[in-house]
A and B are shown apart, each in its own frame.
Chain A
Amino acid sequence: MLERGLEEKTYVLNLGPQHPSTHGVLRVELEMEGEFITKADPDIGYGHRGHEHMAENRNYQQFLPNLGRVDYLHALAYNQCYCMAVEKLLGLKVPERAEFIRVITGEMNRISSHLLWLGAYLLDLGAFTPILYCFDDREHILDLLDRVTGSRLTYCYYRFGGVPQDIDEEFVAGTREFIKRLRTRFRDYDNLVTKNVIFIHRTRDVGIITQEQCLEYGLTGPMVRGSGIPYDIRRSEPYSAYPLFDFEIPIGSKGDILDRYLVRVKEMEQSLRIIEQALNKLPEGPIMAEKVPKRIKPAEGEVYAAVEAARGEFGCYVVSQGEVKPYRIKLRVPSFANLSILPELSVDTLVADLVAILGSIDVVVPEIDR
């Protein structure tokens, strides 16, 4: 290898599939000149489990647990999107309390996802300690969600027409306490990470995504918001109970990694605001729609529903032929589109920058592979 490398100008470096910072089994084939990258080619599919094919062979309810395994970090948003799609097909109206519960738990899940991202991203940049603090906070969210949903990671909680189990007083009290706690912890994150001169130098002006590129590649989520486009499905295509809450869409200016980082951190604060408002306004009432058929058999038709997941737009495209099994379910996952810009972003950067850029995209590889 080395002998040949001496004659040629460039060499090939395999980043992954087993590499500390590819976050799962992602392989990026790099063509390098010294420490500079001339070409990057992500190779995905190591974790392909055929979720879409599974969907065609199961009935509608049986596909529910799969959604928690597509993006295990923000599983509840995926649950919600699929439920929304099928509810649209069936014409079900979800009671308000159930929508509130969905918003509260979904936003908690979003915070936990962002917290994990923050920690893991700092790990990519070489800081070990923040991830443990993030996990400490995240653990509180998991404990709270455990009380409601029964599981800690691959949630399968929402059902067609509502949620199966109600939240209790203890959960509400615990969540309020958690909101208070996390707000004080943000100060520590600020001091430890956001203001850190090394962190700023590592992230500023690196991996800039222009608005034009956002459009061309169909990026969504914090990727576009970091570039200054205030696109958030919670606001632009209001679903569930989101129109009832007051929250801001944080945007960046330059579109570099630092902007994306700041967008995510501010998003956590906004999520806390949403949860707080939802807890204050939490209505009484049923948690399940009245006429949910025991046997889900939607009429012929197709539907596309989208939610704002932690990584961007998650869309669920369900085609029904009037049978108990869906004809086709396409999962539009945000990481897939977000990762597809990596080859363009990584040209003429250092390996260290590539790791930083890859981390800032916040990919969840099982979601890409499906």
Chain B
Amino acid sequence: MLKDEISKALAPLKLERVEPGDYDKTGYHLEVDAAPEQMPEVAQALKSTGCFLDSLTALDFPEAFHVVYHFSSFRELCRTAVKAKVPKGKAAVTICRVYPGANWYEREVYDLFGLKFTGHPDLRRILLPFDADFHPLRKVFETEKADA
């Protein structure tokens, strides 16, 4: 089972939480919580088991950004959700050395949430104009203000 393989690969990292998910309810086979600094190692471990980065996004909660990484595999169905809580004002750590595909995802998160990724080679805005001065998916962002 790929699920066990991944758990085994993640074991030496001593992550906050690695437990099987309720697939019928959430669509995850494995739920992982990690510290943002651990993300490159987590990504490396997942890559060694043959997982690819499915999607990367963030959630804006009042106290912190949750960066959510979804991993999946070509070989066997195993969806892994990794969450890294980044307190407001701090930066996440890039994984695009491991997965070059994360480059654009991280740029997108930076663009829409204003969350910086340390170590990212090219952290520019991607969807919005380069001179935009707002981050629309933050909960404090109001549409009306942006229109005006």
Contact = CB atoms under 8 A, between A and B. Distances in A.
Nearest to B53: A218
B101 A218 contact: yes
Contact of B100 (A52, A301, A344): A344
A53 B142 CA distance: 10
Q: Is the interface of A mostly helix, strand, loop or mixed?
A: mixed
Contact of A215 (B26, B28, B52): B52
Contacts of A303: 25-27
B55 A45 contact: no
B79 A304 contact: yes
Given A216-B99, A237-B77, A336-B104, 7 more contacts: A44-B127, A45-B128, A52-B112, A53-B137, A303-B26, A304-B27, A315-B70
B23 to A, nearest CB: 10
B127 A370 contact: yes
Interface of A: 44-45, 48, 50, 52-53, 56-57, 85, 88, 214-219, 224, 229, 231, 236-237, 301-306, 313, 315, 317, 319, 327-328, 330, 332, 336-337, 340-341, 344, 369-370
Interface in B75-126: 76-77, 79, 81, 99-101, 103-105, 108, 112, 125-126
B78 to A, nearest CB: 10
Given A215-B50, A218-B52, A344-B100, A44 B74 contact: no
Interface of B: 24-28, 47, 50, 52-55, 57, 59-60, 68, 70, 72, 74, 76-77, 79, 81, 99-101, 103-105, 108, 112, 125-129, 136-137, 143
Contacts of B55: 218, 315, 317, 330, 332
B26 A53 contact: no
Contact of B59 (A44, A217, A328): A328
A316 to B, nearest CB: 9
A364 to B, nearest CB: 15
Contacts of B25: 88, 301, 303
Contact of A53 (B24, B100, B136): B136
Nearest to A321: B61
Contacts of B59: 319, 327-328
B21 to A, nearest CB: 10
B47 A215 contact: yes
Contact of A44 (B27, B77, B126, B136): B126
